[in-house]
């Protein structure tokens, strides 16, 4: 009889403990989201590099799992030390899972947008061959933790280097992910402007999306007459980079495959 009379209190305590755990988990997840989306995957990389889906999948599991385990193990009838130990273990498991999730997101984070002779390509930390890291030019952070940077590729030294790099690209090591070819973006600006095309041309190619292109230009304070575009290769999709027609500085990106 007493067991049944205690049931509401028994489940009430568990639900309260689980709710508190859920609240703490959401606060920690919010801080993690700030790190991921404000620094590692700023707009538009959360779309181009798939950061949003990856983070939400990992964190959603972590946020739900912890409170559910607390709901299962919380019991005030347990000795105080045993209850504290159980909750500590749950917390450690959850923090370990969150740490692993953040490590996974960090490994996949975009580190550079590189002008690859004819187009831009987003390079992710996992794309960069570790054996080439020591060949990163002075002044360039190969794997920045403060967000993606703009880079270009220097001209090949000779035909042999060009052939070697091309063969490596056929094996999966893209030119843009090679630190030995990187150079500051400013040095690539003349080449960028050579291959860039007028946005007026883009609007003709994608007539159905012309209003969307105009909207993006307006938000950036630009016009089609003073803006050019270059294709962009992302992780799983192709976008388009809009650039100032004089300086080749990025003014916006649009989800259009302009290759």
Per-residue pLDDT tens for 45-77? 988 887 777 777 777 777 777 788 887 777 777
What is the spatial distance between Cα 35 and Cα 51, in angstroms, rounded to a whole number?
12
Contact of 113 with 177, CB cutoff 8 Å: no
pTM for the full predicted model: 0.84
pLDDT for position 136: 96
Per-residue pLDDT at 251 exceeds 70? yes
Predicted local distance difference test score (pLDDT) of residue 1:
41
Q: Are strands 227-233 and 120-124 parallel, antiparallel or unpaired?
A: parallel
Which residue did the predictor score with more confidence, 33 or 233?
233
Task: Judge whether 187 and 154 are in contact, CB under 8 Å.
Answer: yes
Q: Which residue has the higher pLDDT, 199 or 33?
A: 199
pLDDT at 3 over 50: no
Question: What is the full DSSP assignment across 89-130?
Answer: HHHHHHHHHHHHHHHHHHHT-EEEEEE-SSSEEEEEGGGS-G
Mean pLDDT of all residues in 72-95: 81
How many whole angstroms separate alpha carbon 251 and alpha carbon 220?
6
Mean pLDDT of all residues in 98-111: 89
Residue whose C-alpha is closest to residue 114's, from 131, 130, 127, 133:
127
Q: Say what the pLDDT of residue 97 is.
A: 82
* Average pLDDT of every residue of the chain: 88
Closest CA to 188 of 257, 239, 112: 112
Buried/exposed 43-73: b ≥16 CB within 10 Å, e otherwise = ebbbbbbbbeebbeebbeebbeebbebbbeb
At residue 8, the pLDDT reads 53
Strands 149-153 and 110-115 turn out to be parallel
In terms of C-beta density within 10 A (0-12 exposed, 13-18 middle, 19 or more buried), how is residue 110 classed?
Answer: buried
Residue 122: its pLDDT value, please? 97
Token representation of residue 17: 């403990």
Q: CA–CA separation, 181 vs 176, rounded Å?
A: 8
Residues sharing a CB contact under 8 Å with residue 188, sequence separation 6 or more, in sequence order: 115, 151, 152, 153
User: How many CB atoms neighbour CB 259 within 10 A?
Assistant: 10
Domains of the chain, residue spans: 2-107, 112-184, 196-259
For residue 161, pLDDT over 90 is answered with no
Q: What mean pLDDT is predicted for residues 167-180?
A: 89
- Tell me, what's the pLDDT at 41? 92
* Least confident piece of the model among 75-79, 113-117, 146-150, 216-220: 75-79
DSSP bridge partners of 229: 197, 242
pLDDT given for residue 172 in this prediction = 83
Residue 2 has pLDDT above 70, yes or no: no
Q: State the Cα–Cα distance between residues 242 and 222, nearest whole angstrom.
A: 10
């Amino acid at each position: 009889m007493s067991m049944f009379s205690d049931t509401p209190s028994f489940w009430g305590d568990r639900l309260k403990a689980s709710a508190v755990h859920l609240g703490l988990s959401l606060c920690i997840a919010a801080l993690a989201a700030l790190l991921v989306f404000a620094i590692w995957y700023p707009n538009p990389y959360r779309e181009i590099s798939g950061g949003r889906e990856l983070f939400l999948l990992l964190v959603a599991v972590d946020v739900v799992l912890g409170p559910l385990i607390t709901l299962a193990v919380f019991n005030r009838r347990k000795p105080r030390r045993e209850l504290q130990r159980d909750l500590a273990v749950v917390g450690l498991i959850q923090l370990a899972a969150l740490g692993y999730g953040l490590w996974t997101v960090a490994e996949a984070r975009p580190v550079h947008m590189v002008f690859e002779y004819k187009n831009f390509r987003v390079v992710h930390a996992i794309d960069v061959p570790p054996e080439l890291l020591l060949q990163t030019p002075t002044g360039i952070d190969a794997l920045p933790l403060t967000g993606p940077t703009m880079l270009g590729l220097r001209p090949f030294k000779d035909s042999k280097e060009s052939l070697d790099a091309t063969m490596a690209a056929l094996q999966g090591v893209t030119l843009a992910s090679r630190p030995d070819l990187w150079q500051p973006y400013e040095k690539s600006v003349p080449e960028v402007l050579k291959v860039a095309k007028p946005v007026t041309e883009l609007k003709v190619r994608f007539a159905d999306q012309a209003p969307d292109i105009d909207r993006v230009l307006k938000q950036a304070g630009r016009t089609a007459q003073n803006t050019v575009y270059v294709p962009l290769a992302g992780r799983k999709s192709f976008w388009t980079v809009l650039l100032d027609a004089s300086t080749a500085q990025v003014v916006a990106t649009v989800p259009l495959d302009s290759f």
